[in-house]
Amino acid sequence: MELTINTYKTKDNHAIICIYTVSIALNQLFRAIFVLLKKNCSMAHKSGFVNIIGFPNVGKSTLMNSLVGEKLSIITSKAQTTRHRIMGIVNGDDFQIVYSDTPGVLKPNYKLQESMMQFVYSALSDADIILLVTEMGMAIDLHEDIIQKITRMNVPVIVVINKVDLAKSQEAVVEAMDAWQVRMPEAKIIPVSALHKFNQEALLTEVLEKLPENPEYFPKDQMSDKTMRFFVSEIIREKILISYKKEIPYSVEVVVDSYKEEEKIIHIEALIYVVRESQKGILIGHQGIMLKRIGTKARHDIEAFVDKKVFLSLQVKVLENWRDSDLMLKRFGYNQN
């Protein structure tokens, strides 16, 4: 206790002693509040959109999953695996990074691919920071059109040279960094291996340094802008892409028709759309064996993602020409208009 003693005298000269006690704990509380207020006033919150751009198969999805710490984007060896713009949110006490994985840059051959490129253009237009992802051995000249578009955005750019673990030598990595620095002198060049999480901390440090001061855009406990139905459909599509070759991976679309969560199990019904009857037969397989394999593999991954038992029902339907149908593309979430 801290004691404050005041003495007074009455008219008949008797002393009255008044003792005021102040709790040390209360003093400490006031000091803590003062320090906290001072800290908050001096520490700005950073938040922004860090959008990942690049050609197919350079490791954009692997990079985002690594940075976010969750598998939000499906990964296969096939081009055009990523069709949507997928946001992954990383939160700290004084920052929020909203990463965006985007489809690989390509020349569209049908309306689905046109819609995919619209996701890329939207990511360019609203970026606070652009991560231009390339890979070891890829010529800078191939990126000329992307570089021109990025330069017009007038935002900080980080060139991420991925797959340095496959480089022939350290000198080759340095040469690649120097070449990119000459072409984009205002950009920061960072070599990484997204698969092995090499140099990830250096990339995060650079992102935080360039991140603008803003309030948070999403609640601090939110992981992505996408729904659980979306992630389930992507997991199913990933298993199809891994299991089939030729035209089926590029002709298929997955829609979760029903998602019912109970206390101990989640019941999911999904439709797999293809463009031809022959593809339906291949996808289902003899006596349904191929579809059962797809369902089993997808169910295991979905259960790991939702941390709960899952009952998964799959059906295959033919929907001709859906990739060039504005109506169906809008229904499937590709048409942003």
Binding-site annotation, residues:
54-61, 101-105, 162-165
Which of these three, 10, 25, 42, is where a domain ends? 42
Q: Is 254 helix (H, G, I), strand (E, B) or coil?
A: strand
pLDDT beyond 60 at 17: no
d(C-alpha 315, C-alpha 273), whole Å: 9
The whole-number pLDDT of residue 246 equals 82
The CATH code of the domain that includes 237 is 3.30.300.20
Which of these three, 182, 210, 238, is where a domain ends? 210
Tell whether 141 and 73 lie within a shared domain: yes
Pairing of the two strands 157-162 and 188-191: parallel
Range of the domain at 320: 228-331
Give the mean model confidence (pLDDT) for residues 69-91: 93
Domain-located, residue 218 = no
Quickly state the pLDDT bin for 4 (edges 50, 70, 90). Answer: very low
Domain-located, residue 337 = no
Assigned token pair, 14: 């008797």
Tell whether 150 and 296 lie within a shared domain: no
pLDDT beyond 80 at 45: yes
Q: Decide if 59 contacts 195 (C-beta within 8 A).
A: yes
The whole-number pLDDT of residue 335 equals 79
**Residue by residue, what is the 3-state secondary structure of 144-167?**
HHHHHHHHHHCCCEEEEEECHHHC
Tell whether 60 and 38 lie within a shared domain: no
Which of these three, 163, 184, 210, is where a domain ends? 210
Tell whether 33 and 54 lie within a shared domain: no
The whole-number pLDDT of residue 211 equals 98
DSSP-assigned letters across all residues of 270-314: EEEEESSHHHHHHHH-GGGHHHHHHHHHHHHHHHHHHTSEEEEEE
Global confidence as pTM: 0.84
Tell whether 116 and 247 lie within a shared domain: no
251-300 pLDDT, tens digit each: 999 999 999 999 999 999 999 999 999 999 999 999 999 999 999 999 99
**Alpha-carbon Rg of the chain, whole angstroms?**
28
Domain-located, residue 128 = yes
The CB density around residue 110, as the number of other CB atoms within 10 Å, is 12
Tell whether 124 and 176 lie within a shared domain: yes
The whole-number pLDDT of residue 25 equals 54
The whole-number pLDDT of residue 288 equals 95
> In DSSP terms, which residues pair with 21 in a beta bridge?
3
Q: What is the Cβ-side half-sphere exposure of residue 123, based on CA atoms within 13 angstroms?
A: 27
**Total domains, the chain:** 3
Domain-located, residue 155 = yes
What b/e readout covers 30-39, taking b as 16+ CB neighbours within 10 angstroms? eeeeeeeeee
135-153 pLDDT, tens digit each: 999 999 999 999 999 999 9
Tell whether 179 and 244 lie within a shared domain: no
Tell whether 308 and 284 lie within a shared domain: yes
Tell whether 191 and 237 lie within a shared domain: no
d(C-alpha 253, C-alpha 273), whole Å: 5
Tell whether 165 and 89 lie within a shared domain: yes
Binding-site annotation, residues for GTP:
54-61, 101-105, 162-165
The whole-number pLDDT of residue 6 equals 47
The whole-number pLDDT of residue 28 equals 61
Q: Which long-range contacts (CB under 8 A, 24 or more apart) does 142-151 make?
A: 142/55, 143/55, 146/53, 146/54, 146/105, 147/183, 147/184, 149/124, 150/53, 150/124
Domain-located, residue 311 = yes
- Give the residue among 33, 34, 7 at the shortest CA–CA distance from 18: 7
The whole-number pLDDT of residue 175 equals 97
Helix runs in 69-130, H state only: 111-125
Tell whether 188 and 206 lie within a shared domain: yes
Tally of helices (H runs) and strands (E runs) in the chain: 11, 11
Tell whether 139 and 273 lie within a shared domain: no
Q: Give the CA angle between residues 79, 84, 86 to the nearest 5°.
A: 110
Q: Give the CA angle between residues 272, 278, 279 to the nearest 5°.
A: 35
Residue scoring higher pLDDT (146 or 34)? 146
